[in-house]
Amino acid sequence: MAFLLADCTPHRHLPLKVFALLILATALPISANRIDKRINRRGCGRSAPVGRVYNGKPISRESIPWIVHVLATKPVGGSGNGCAGSIITSNVVLTAAHCVQDDNGVRAISVNVFFNKTEFHSGYAVKAEIMKVYPKFGKTNYRFYDIALLKLAVDLEFNKIMGPVCIPERDFDVTKQPLMVAGWGATSTARHSKIIRYAYVHAITNKACQREIGGSATPIAKRLKRPYPMICTKGTNATPCEGDSGGPMTLKDERGRSTIVGIVSYGVICDPSFISKYTRVAYYTRWIKNMLNHPGKWSKLQFNRKLEGIRLKVKPV
């Protein structure tokens, strides 16, 4: 985070360890590992207290058990994009579309998801076997529709350091609410954080967000006014930065349950004086539910055992 949340330089010499089994996951035969459709199951969004509010403060796994690190490998060059994501069911992770597909429509050939550690790019890695990018992503100039789903090859067994975040069942006003963002992003030294850090940000109104993004007079923007598919934050001491893409922005209710209201999207300039843009999850709740019920519409991903243990160049986005 650019307090900061992200790294602005390529990461090198990162050993990729892919485990067929997880100590904290139940490994099932692929044929039995069907998409878990149970969003908002009992216990979602539960976490340990994070303590006092401080921009860039380290956070424990117990305080944000749904966050994961996502490594998407490109089809050429053996390089990958480093992003974050959020667990929403026992085998589905929510992230940003631009983490797994570029502006030219080129998609990642393989995706690995890292769990269990607060340290950057560490812990156990599980392959994603299929993914679903929102079909309209990349077809506008304003980076709407920046959302994707990843289906894991194994089912996770939830515990204090690994659990799902809640999905909004409806849209609601998040302005004037304390919204928590977290990631492995850059600190004020412009180096990526080796541990998860968090900060609180505040959203501006939908109308102000439209003005900041631009294109509010275009036909597509007019069709997307309610609810507006983006959330913007501005004027705080913290902001996401490159590498935090795909990570969660959550709101905790009076019962202490966290709901993911936004996904770190684009415009990460690493400067708190500029707006930060997030995908509004409530806009896509119906689509998420529909995709969980239609696995045949997802795209298959490759998994190459030869990648095990090699060093990849990772570019934060």
For the stretch 65-96, pLDDT in tens is 999 999 898 887 656 678 899 999 999 999 99
User: Out of 50-64, 183-197, 206-220, 234-248, which region has the weakest mean confidence (pLDDT)?
Assistant: 183-197
Q: Do residues 118 and 243 both lie within one domain?
A: no
Q: Do residues 233 and 277 both lie within one domain?
A: yes
Is residue 227 reached through a cis peptide bond, with omega within 30 degrees of 0 on the bond before it? yes
Question: Per-residue pLDDT for 106 more than 60?
Answer: yes
Give how many domains the chain has, as a whole number: 2
- Band of pLDDT at residue 158, cut at 50, 70 and 90: very high
Give the residue numbers spanning the domain of 160.
Answer: 11-26+65-164+287-316
Q: Do residues 17 and 125 both lie within one domain?
A: yes
Q: How far is CA 313 from CA 9, 16, 81, 238, 307, in A?
A: 10, 11, 9, 27, 12
Q: Do residues 184 and 296 both lie within one domain?
A: no
- Tens of pLDDT, residues 214-243: 754 455 555 555 668 899 987 666 667 766
Is there a domain that residue 99 lies in?
yes
The enclosing domain of 227 has a CATH number of 2.40.10.10
Look at the pTM and tell me if it is higher than 0.75.
yes
Q: Do residues 134 and 183 both lie within one domain?
A: no
CB 278 within 8 A of CB 265: yes
Average pLDDT over the chain, rounded to an integer: 77
